[in-house]
Chains A and B, each alone.
Chain A
Amino acid sequence: MVQDEQELKNFVHAYLDDEERHILLVAGSGFDPRTTNFPKLLASCSKATIDARFIVERRPTPDPDLVSKSESLRADLVGFFPEAKFDDIEIFSSEGEPTVVAGRRTAALLGKLDRSSKTDIIIDISALSTGVFFPLVRGLLQSSRPNQNVHLVLSQHSDLDAMIVRKTHQAASIAHGFRATSDFGNSARKVKLWIPQLMRNQSTSLERLFTMYEYDDVCPAVPLRALAPRQPEELVFEFNDLFRDWTGTSSVEFDFRNLLFVSEDDPLDTYRTISDLHQLRLRTFEHLNGASTILSPTGTKVVTVGMLMAAIEYNLEVVYLESVGYQLSEKFHTQALAPWALKHVWLAGEAYS
């Protein structure tokens, strides 16, 4: 079940704000201006009991401007939830070659979250990165009781996503908890499909992700947005050289018919598109060596959530490039931002019982 902002506001006030509701909010505390968006809404509840846990992602040598932005937003969060706890998560291990440990550190945090008495667990991924919220959502879903509600919320803003410039790690990582089963040493290998998400200024990241495996097919997910009808064309134009390069240096024969057009407003569209494709390929290659689908969420969060849902349901592998650091582009300081939109995905619980 997916709700837009107005429906979510109604839901918070009509459903969550009840004396019988015991809510665990897990969210990010960072520099992203969306950090406080949902916590502020939830803090307006006067009847429900709310435990708030905020994850602070720690990366080496952060931009001082972003650190001060984070501190200011953190003060706001404390204002909303004076009893809130903040947990630091190291994204990289500094021992030897920098290695991504975000997922494992997040999984370790799961054990410290008291969920037993909660009726609702809400994960706000607006200010969390892929390497953290993928294992977080999977872990919370796996350990949830029957009828315990698990909600995912996010503040969607494609323009803001594009203004946050990521410096990415040089090596691709597998999201913790999202590895495929091993077929090491098997001569009969599965046919591999890779579905990366296209996003502006991410061609270098995609190029690096491509070298992770020997893929047989690539079907990039191209987000469609009602307010930006030319976006798909611009993306395809930007990535055209890369597509050509893949065809030139590997056995992948890229064809523009491989593009998967997915809605940037509805995570279920991405989820359904990937589900259909994966199931079709499982049937097609059933009597050969089987098929596997690998996802790479590298763009806006609504599409990423669709990928997350498909990955959890079908145990798909997720490869991504961790961010070493962030910077805000010039546009962030000069361009007025349109308001962002909240989304709510009800992942498990009473709605499905």
Chain B
Amino acid sequence: MAFNPFQKRATEHLREDTAYLGVVSPKPIRHFLLQGKDHGILYDRLVTILGTPGSGKTTMARLFEFRIVFELLSHANQRSYRPLIQLLADSGAIEDLAPKILGARLALESDYRDIWELPYSSVEKSGLLFSFVQSRSVLTWLRMLEDADISLSDVKIVAQDPGSAAAQSIGGVEAASVQSKARDVESCVYEIVASLAPPPFGSLSELVTQAYKPFDVIEAVEIPWRSAGSLDRIQLQPLVMFDDAHCLHPKQFESLKNWMSKRELRIARWFMSRLDVLKPQESLDSRFLGTNSAGVELPGVTEDRDEAIIRFQGHGESRLDQRKKFRYAARDITKRALNQIAMFSEKGMVDLPIMLEEAVREVGITASAYSDLKRKTETLRRKKVIADRRLEEFRGLAKEFLEKKGTNALDIEEAMIQIMAHRYANRTPQQELWDDDDPEPSKPIRADNDVYEGARTHLHLAYGRPLYYGFDTLCDAASQNTELFLRLADVFVESLEFKLARKKDPGLTPEDQDKKLRIRSKEIIKNWAYPDHDLVRKLCEGIGHRCMKRSAEENAPLGPGANAYGILQEEYDQLQSDDSRGLARALHFGIAYNAFAGLPNYECKKKKWFLLELGGCSIISHGLTFLRGGFVEGSLSELEGFISTK
């Protein structure tokens, strides 16, 4: 069966480099990595890259692996590779179509964490970890060169002091001997980790107890490089990318990071981690949680002399801009992915947005629901004693607004009238106290976008009118997470592929899209499987229900409704950071895994709030709006209550 990039975020599992290059999009990488900064900071200090799972950290790192860089440069004339080559050039990884760095990615999975469990002292365990990390980095760098058909006999290690004992301890400057030494060290540490009962530290081989510091010794790696017909020798700066650094024990993470921050190191080093590497008190700290509504923005790239921090998602620009940029990148990602599926590429149907219809029928709900809706208007007129003339005025306002919007949705018109009527009733004195049978409201009633969006939300919640359709909604549902975007888009792609196979017009109605997105969102939430996901799910459920109730209020006080939960900032600041089992942990993992976003210092009603904004899947599964700004007011004790429910 053919590869389908939508079925799974598969870039980590695409063994073939060409297949990977077929699906990777340069746009999000450029957006996150460069952010208008000088690329020099990527290679001269520790770079920490933080992001939620699926935000594209590994996809980005893979592009900088030497094997991929080599593949791109070997086919530089290929048109589809040009944007990627340009990106590598802009980020300083290549220059004049020659590589400048020797990138290797090291996934810090369980082998490394297991070292912490050995029955040795902290210093001994750190020593083993450093030896393990360095030996594996060296082996990966050299393997990258071998994979690019560069013979190790042609490779020289450029050492700070080639004759020094330190240089000799890594195997000298010949690549083959350096590889051999690294292999011995790696095997030795691995055997200790793998053994059922680890030997006493005193009986370990000198290979792991004596100094082995290739990161301190190696300045560059010299390789032969053919360009413009001549064979030159070029020097590459080694780059090690530590992926999934959150898997380490917190103390390992700290010690490795401190060591990597040393400015004397000549190698480039990137630390990539999910947000959960931060302790709860850090991850929930306002400093780590992005921009606030008042427009006080934290930098996307925080840099000092020792470290640059790059955050995927949630930083560096207004949240509206983030959404726009993600939509732009998502178009490119979709196009590339559809190009990989024969059914679409052969027919030239690679533009998903045009296949997602956005025009809802004149009445987007069933006939009986529409009759019920109209009946409600009449009941409302009688109960609230609203003059016919007044209702007609509201109808006129709604029609005029919808006309300007280019739609003639009769159900929305009716729902808008009802919202306006409720607002009118709230803004006029009780009828029996006055003689006037058509009093003027204290504040004029308008048919504006708030009323329109409120009507859409009401109709969705009450009658299931489609609310989630169109490409932009799909992007918003993904909460700026590429993996989530692909998983959500998969339901559309699957249906469209089926239609194409049956030679039907490729297109999905808003009803289809809405239904499929709702089902998929619920599936995704059901399949959450990260630490404390059950608590996070309960939090989302509790918040979702409160938002749903608020959004369904008849006068639509928040316009489109609520999708966030607000706690007074001062109350939030009291959250016990050492609450390792309860709410702090649930919030920590919920934010780290994108179940909701934390927005500190949100100013509203002359108060400062901490907002928990639900993620796309929770918004859809509760029938809420994607439009931001509406929140329900709550408290920490209520959140505690949500997570303690059975």
Which residues of A approach B to under 8 Å, CB–CB?
60-61, 93-101, 104, 107-108, 110-111, 135, 138-139, 142, 167-171, 173-174, 176-177, 179, 181-182, 184-187, 204, 208, 211, 214, 244-245, 247-251
Contact = CB atoms under 8 A, between A and B. Distances in A.
Given A93-B117, A95-B250, A249-B3, 18 more contacts: A96-B246, A96-B250, A96-B277, A97-B246, A97-B248, A107-B196, A138-B196, A139-B197, A170-B529, A170-B530, A177-B196, A185-B140, A204-B529, A208-B529, A211-B12, A247-B1, A249-B4, A249-B7
A15 B13 CA distance: 54
B253 interface: yes
Nearest to A92: B531
Contact of B110 (A96, A99, A108): A99
Contacts of B13: 211, 214, 249-250
B192 to A, nearest CB: 11
B146 interface: yes
Given A171-B110, A249-B3, A251-B15, A185 B136 contact: yes
Given A249-B4, A249-B7, A184 B136 contact: yes
27 contacts: A93-B249, A94-B580, A95-B251, A96-B246, A96-B253, A97-B247, A99-B113, A99-B247, A110-B197, A138-B196, A167-B534, A170-B529, A177-B195, A179-B190, A182-B186, A182-B191, A184-B136, A184-B139, A184-B186, A185-B183, A187-B143, A187-B147, A208-B529, A211-B12, A214-B13, A248-B3, A248-B4
Interface of B: 1-4, 7-8, 10, 12-13, 15-16, 109-110, 113-114, 117, 119, 136, 139-140, 142-143, 146-147, 179, 182-183, 186-187, 190-191, 193-197, 246-251, 253, 276-277, 527, 529-531, 534, 580-581
Contacts of B179: 185
Given A248-B7, A249-B4, A179 B194 contact: yes
Given A170-B529, A185-B136, A96 B248 contact: yes
Given A173-B110, A174-B110, A101 B527 contact: no
Given A182-B190, A185-B143, A204-B527, A248 B196 contact: no
Contact of A250 (B15, B146, B190, B276): B15
Contacts of A179: 190, 193-194
B3 A111 contact: no
Contacts of A110: 197
B117 to A, nearest CB: 5
Contacts of A99: 110, 113, 117, 247, 249
Contact of B196 (A96, A135, A208): A135
A190 B8 CA distance: 26
A177 B15 CA distance: 28
B1 A248 contact: yes
Given A248-B1, A251-B16, A95 B249 contact: yes
Contacts of A204: 527, 529
Contacts of B15: 214, 250-251
A184 B190 contact: yes
A187 B529 CA distance: 34
Contact of A170 (B110, B146, B531, B581): B531
Interface centre among A177, A179, A181, A187 (most CB of B within 10 A): A179
Given A171-B110, A249-B8, A249-B10, A244 B1 contact: yes
Nearest to B279: A96
Q: Which 4 A-B pairs have the closest CB atoms?
A: A185-B139, A177-B196, A179-B194, A182-B190
B162 to A, nearest CB: 23
Contacts of A101: 117
Contacts of B136: 184-185
A100 B109 CA distance: 12
Contact of A107 (B4, B197, B580): B197
B113 A139 contact: no
A327 to B, nearest CB: 11
A111 B182 CA distance: 33
Contact of B117 (A96, A98, A104, A184): A104
B358 to A, nearest CB: 30
Contact of B187 (A61, A95, A182): A182
Given A95-B250, A96-B248, A111 B113 contact: no
Contacts of A138: 196
Counting chain B CB atoms within 10 Å of each CB, the highest count among A139, A173, A182 belongs to: A182
B68 to A, nearest CB: 16
A120 to B, nearest CB: 22
A55 B109 CA distance: 28
Given A187-B143, A250-B13, A250-B15, A176 B196 contact: yes
Contacts of B147: 187
Nearest to A174: B110
B8 A185 contact: no
B145 to A, nearest CB: 10
Nearest to B8: A249
B143 to A, nearest CB: 5
B2 A248 contact: yes
Contacts of B530: 170
B256 to A, nearest CB: 13
Nearest to A61: B581
Contacts of B531: 97-98, 170
Report which residue of A95, A176, A184, A250 has the largest number of chain B beta carbons within 10 angstroms of its beta carbon: A184
A169 B529 CA distance: 7
A30 B530 CA distance: 25
Which of A94, A99, A173, A244 has the largest count of B CB atoms less than 10 A from its CB? A99
Contacts of B113: 97, 99
Contacts of A247: 1
A185 B110 contact: no
A167 B581 CA distance: 18
Contact of A97 (B8, B197, B276): B276
